[in-house]
């Protein structure tokens, strides 16, 4: 049956059809606009992923030492993250940061490299991510730090700066305590 066969020339019929279509059509989405989604997909996504990985680098080197347990945990995180959103190319950021950090001649220069990488990555990630991604980053960083089953003073300072920089403050203290408790139970076995 042709679509327009039963339509009359009466304009009231067209108004009824228009109203019925409006009622049947879904309400406009309250989410991000198409332009925002495209920017996030093509423009900001790569910078956000790079900042995420850079902050994981900062979590691993928060105590300024290399630890085998943290390296193993990083490989686990890398495998888990590659499955969902990250590609192997995204991890070149980590390798470049590691080379730059290790190329510094003394501890003062390493500290400068570290703090510069941390502040830049934190600013980029804070601007380009949502609340869930910020909390996920905090959990991943905590997981990486807790891999050796101890949190040193420098690592506590890093977690505090990370939480403040991401907007996870004293009001989210229950979230932070729950995350720490989960990591303690998770790593007991």
Q: Is residue 51 part of a domain?
A: yes
Residue 29, pLDDT score:
52
Residue 84, pLDDT score:
61
Q: Is residue 122 part of a domain?
A: yes
What's the pTM? 0.68
Report long-range pairs for 148-152 (Cβ below 8 Å, ≥24 apart).
148/67, 148/69, 148/70, 149/69, 149/187, 152/62, 152/63
Residue 116, pLDDT score:
92
Residue 187, pLDDT score:
57
Residue 35, pLDDT score:
55
Burial of 138 (0-12, 13-18, 19+ CB in 10 A): buried
> How far is 121 from 164, CA to CA, in rounded Å?
14
Q: Is residue 12 part of a domain?
A: no
Please give the tally of structural domains in the chain.
1
> How far is 154 from 7, CA to CA, in rounded Å?
76
Q: Is residue 137 part of a domain?
A: yes
Residue 45, pLDDT score:
75
Buried b (16+ CB within 10 A) or exposed e, 21-51: eeeeeeeeeeeeeeeeeeeeeeebeeebbbb
Q: Is residue 14 part of a domain?
A: no
* 52 neighbors 118 (Cβ within 8 angstroms): no
State which residues form the domain around 163: 31-187
Q: Is residue 125 part of a domain?
A: yes
Per-10-residue mean pLDDT, the chain, length 189: 45 53 52 56 69 90 86 86 74 87 86 91 88 86 85 87 82 70 62
């Amino acid at each position: 049956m042709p679509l327009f066969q039963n339509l009359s020339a009466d304009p009231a019929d067209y108004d009824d059809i228009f109203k019925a279509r409006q009622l049947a059509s879904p309400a406009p989405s309250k989410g991000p606009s198409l332009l925002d989604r495209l920017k996030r997909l093509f423009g900001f996504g790569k910078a956000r992923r790079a900042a995420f990985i850079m902050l994981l680098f900062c979590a691993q080197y928060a105590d300024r030492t290399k630890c085998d347990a943290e390296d193993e945990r990083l490989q686990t995180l890398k495998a888990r993250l590659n499955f969902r959103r990250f590609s192997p190319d995204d991890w070149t950021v980590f390798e470049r940061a590691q080379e730059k950090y290790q190329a510094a001649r003394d501890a003062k220069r390493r500290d400068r490299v570290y703090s510069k990488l941390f502040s830049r990555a934190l600013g980029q990630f804070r601007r380009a991510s949502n609340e869930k991604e910020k909390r996920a980053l905090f959990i991943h960083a905590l997981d990486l730090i807790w891999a050796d089953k101890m949190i040193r003073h420098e690592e506590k300072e890093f977690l505090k700066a990370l939480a403040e920089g991401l907007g996870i403050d004293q009001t989210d203290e229950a979230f932070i305590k729950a995350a720490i408790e989960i990591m303690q139970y998770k790593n007991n076995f």
